Amino acid sequence: MGAGYHGGFGHTSGSGKAFKIGFTKAGVKLYTRDELIKSIDGVTTTSTMIADLLRNKKVGLNVIGDRLFSYAFNLGPDTLAFYSNGQIYVRSSSLSIIDDLVHEGKHAYDDKVLNKNRNFIKSRHGELRAYSAEREFQLATGRKPTYKDLNEMYKHIKKNYK
Ligand SMILES: [Zn+2]
- Tens digit of pLDDT for each residue in 62-90? 999 888 888 888 888 888 999 999 999 99
Model pLDDT, residue 77: 81
Determine contact, residues 63/35, Cβ cutoff 8 Å: no
CA distances from 141 to 10, 42, 105, 137, 144 (A): 32, 11, 17, 6, 9
Q: Determine the average pLDDT of the residues in 96-124.
A: 96
Q: How far is the CA of 19 from the centre of ligand 1 (A)?
A: 5
Hey, is 35 helix, strand or coil? helix
Residues 6+ apart with CB under 8 A from 4: 22, 146, 147, 156
Cβ atoms < 10 Å from Cβ of 58:
13
Distance between terminal CA atoms of the chain?
26
Q: How far is the CA of 86 from the centre of ligand 1 (A)?
A: 14
Q: Determine the average pLDDT of the residues in 40-64.
A: 97
Q: How far is the CA of 46 from the centre of ligand 1 (A)?
A: 15
Q: How far is the CA of 141 from the centre of ligand 1 (A)?
A: 20
Q: How far is the CA of 80 from the centre of ligand 1 (A)?
A: 10
Q: How far is the CA of 13 from the centre of ligand 1 (A)?
A: 16
Model pLDDT, residue 61: 97
Report residue 7's pLDDT band, with 50, 70 and 90 as the boundaries: very low
Q: How far is the CA of 18 from the centre of ligand 1 (A)?
A: 5
Residues 6+ apart with CB under 8 A from 70: 76, 77
**Higher per-residue pLDDT: 77 or 132:** 132
**Higher per-residue pLDDT: 72 or 3:** 72
Q: How far is the CA of 130 from the centre of ligand 1 (A)?
A: 6
Provide the CA 135 distance to its chain's centre, in angstroms: 11
Max CA pair span of the chain: 38
User: What is the pTM assigned to this prediction?
Assistant: 0.84
Average pLDDT, whole number, for the chain?
A: 86
Q: How far is the CA of 126 from the centre of ligand 1 (A)?
A: 7
Phi, psi of 80 (to 5 degrees): -90, -30
